[in-house]
Amino acid sequence: MKNIITIILSTLFSLSVCAQQEGDILIKNGTVITITDGVKEQTDVLIRNGKIEEIGENLSASNVKTIDAEGMFVMPGIIDAHSHIALDVVNEATNPVTAEVFVGDGLDPYDVSIYRALAGGVTISHAMHGSANAIGGQCETIKHRYGEVDPEAIRMDGAPRTIKFALGENPMRVHGEGNGIAPATRMGMEQIFRNAFEEGKAYMKAQKDYAAGKADFPPLYNTRSEVMADILKGDIIIHCHSYRADEIYMLLKVLEDYGVKRICFQHVNEGFKVAPELAAYGAHASVFSDWWAYKFEVYYSTAYNAAILAENGVVTSINSDSGELIRHLYHEAAKTQRYGGLSDNEALKLITLNPAIQLGIEDRVGSIEKGKEGDIAIFKNHPLSIYAIPQITIVDGIVRFDINEDNYDMRLDIDPDEKIPTFYETETHSHHGEGDRCMQDVYEFLNHKH
Partner 1 sequence: MNNRLIRLLVVCMMPIVSFGQVDYDEIIKATDKVFLKDVIIHDKPGSVIEYGSILVENGMIVQVGKKLTEPDDALILTADSLHVYPAFIDALSHSSIKKKEDGERPKVKFPGSPPDDVAGITPGKSAFDFIDAESSDLISMRELGFGIVHVAPRGRMLPGQTAIISTSGKSKNEILIKENVANYAQLKTSPGVFPATMIGVLTKFRELYKQAEGANQHMVRYSSSPLGLQRPTYSDAITAMIPVTKKQQKVFFKAESAKDVHRVLALKNELGFDLVLTDVKQVYPVVDKVKSSNVPVMISLDLPDKPEDEKKDEEKDEEENLTTEEMKALKERKAKAYQDYVGQVAMLEKAGVNFGFSWIKAKPKKMQEQMQTLIENGLSENAAIKGLTTVPAQLLGISDIAGTAEKGKLANLIISTAPIFEKDSKIKFMLVDGEVFEYEIKKKKKKTEDGEAIDIAGTYTYEISQFGASGSLIVSKEEDDYKVVLTDADDGSELEAKNITRDGNSMSFDLKVEEDGFSMDVSVNLDFSEDDFEGSVNTDFGAAPIEGSKVDPN
Partner 2 sequence: MNKIYWILVVALFLSCELLGQQVRKSTFEDVLLKNATIVTITNGTIEGDLLIKNGIIAEIGTSLSANGLSEIDCTGKFIYPGFIDGGTQLGLVEISSVSLTRDSDELGDYTPHMQALTAVNPNSVSIPVTRVNGVTTVFSKPTGDLFPGTGAVIDLHGYTPDQMYAGSKAVLMNFPSTGRRGRWDRRSEEDITKDNEKAMKKLKKFWDQAKIYSQINQTGGDYNPQLAAMVPVLKGDAPLMIEVNKKSDILNAIEWVNKQSIKAIFTGVSEGWRVADSLAKYKIPVITGPVLQVPSRASDKYDVSYSNPGKMLKAGVKVAIRTNETENVRNLPFNAGFAAAYGMGIDEALRAITITPAEIFGIADKYGSLEKGKVANLFVCDGDPFETKTQIQHLFIRGWNVPLESRHTLLYDEFLERDPGIKK
Is the CB of 247 or the CB of 290 nearer to partner 2? 290
Q: Which does 417 bind (CB under 5 to 8 A by kind): partner 2, partner 1, none?
A: partner 1
| Closer by beta carbon to partner 1, 143 or else 335 | 143
Task: State how beta strands 316-318 and 376-380 pair.
Answer: unpaired
Q: Is 264 in the site for partner 2 (CB under 8 A)?
A: no
Q: Quick one: which of 262, 335, 349, 372 contacts partner 2 (CB under 8 A)?
A: 335
| 356 part of the interface to partner 2, by CB under 8 A | no
* Cβ-based nearer residue to partner 2, 73 or 203: 73
Choose the contact partner of 177 out of partner 2, partner 1, none; CB within 5 to 8 A by kind: partner 2
Q: How far apart are CA 173 and CA 189, in angstroms?
A: 12
166 binds partner 2 (CB under 8 A): no
Residues in the chain: 450
Residue with Cβ nearer partner 1 (235 or 246): 235
Q: Decide which of partner 2, partner 1, none touches 55; Cβ closer than 5 to 8 Å per partner kind.
A: none
CA distances from 186 to 46, 135, 228, 299, 316 (A): 51, 14, 21, 17, 25
How far CA 418 is from CA of 112, 159, 409, 415, 449, in Å, comes to 16, 37, 13, 5, 33
With beta carbons less than 8 A apart as the criterion, state whether 173 and 243 touch.
no
- Spatial distance between the Cα atoms of 230 and 237, rounded to a whole number of angstroms: 10
Positive or negative torsion for Cα 14, 20, 21, 27: negative
Q: Which does 253 bind (CB under 5 to 8 A by kind): partner 2, partner 1, none?
A: none
Nearer to partner 2 by C-beta: 324 or 369? Answer: 324
From residue 2 to residue 31, the character string flagging contacts with partner 1 as x (rule: CB under 8 A) and all else as - is x--x---x--x--xxx--------------
Q: How far is CA 283 from CA 168, 191, 239, 286, 335, in A?
A: 18, 21, 10, 10, 23
C-alpha to C-alpha distance for 159 and 162, rounded to whole angstroms: 9
Pick one of partner 2, partner 1, none as the site partner of residue 292 (Cβ within 5 to 8 A by kind). Answer: partner 2
> Does residue 236 touch partner 1 according to CB under 8 A?
no
**Contact with partner 2 (CB under 8 A): which of 3, 63, 404, 422?**
422
Residue 102: name the closest of 82, 126, 80, 129 by CA: 129
- Which residue from 92, 247, 297, 332 is in contact with partner 1, where contact means CB under 8 A? 92
For partner 2, give the closer residue by CB, 112 or 254: 112
Nearer of residues 34 and 91 to partner 1, judged by Cβ: 91
Stretch that binds partner 2, among 36-44, 91-99, 151-159, 334-342 (CB under 8 A): 334-342
| Min separation Cβ 387 and partner 1, Å | 27
Does 244 sit near partner 2 (CB under 8 A)? no
Quick one: which of 70, 88, 177, 256 contacts partner 2 (CB under 8 A)?
177
Of the candidate residues 96, 121, 323, 374, the single one contacting partner 1 (CB under 8 A): 96
What's the burial of 166, exposed, middle or buried (CB within 10 Å: 0-12/13-18/19+)? buried
Taking the C-alpha atoms of residue 184 and residue 443, their distance in angstroms, rounded to an integer, is: 18
Q: Measured from the CB of residue 134, what is the shortest distance to partner 2 in angstroms?
A: 18
Spatial distance between the Cα atoms of 124 and 114, rounded to a whole number of angstroms: 10
Q: Considering beta carbons, is residue 52 or 128 the nearer one to partner 2?
A: 128
| Shortest distance in whole angstroms from residue 435 CB to partner 2 | 6
> How far is Cα 163 from Cα 236, in angstroms, rounded to an integer?
7
- CA–CA dist 114, 119 (Å, integer): 9
Q: How many residues bind partner 1 (CB under 8 A)?
A: 59
Alpha helices in 327-388 (DSSP H): 329-338, 344-349, 353-359
The single-letter code of the amino acid at 91 is: N
Please report whether residue 248 would count as binding partner 1 according to CB under 8 A.
no
Q: Is 330 in the site for partner 1 (CB under 8 A)?
A: no
E strand residue ranges, 128-262: 135-143, 161-166, 236-242
3-state secondary structure of 411: coil
